[in-house]
Amino acid sequence: MGGIEHNSLQLAVALKKRGVEIFFLCPAHGDLTDLLTKNGLDYSILPRPLFLSTSFRVGSRYVFNPFATFYNFVLFFPLVVRIAAWLRKHP
In a 13 Å sphere around the CA of 8, the CA atoms on its Cβ side amount to 16
Chain segment 75-84, per-residue pLDDT in tens: 999 999 999 9
H/E element holding 61? Answer: strand 61-64
Alpha helices in the chain (DSSP H): 3-17, 31-38, 66-89
Residue type, 16: K
Classify strands 55-58 and 61-64 as parallel, antiparallel or unpaired: antiparallel
10-65: pLDDT as tens digits: 999 999 999 999 999 999 999 999 999 999 999 999 999 999 999 999 999 999 99
pTM over 0.95? The answer is no
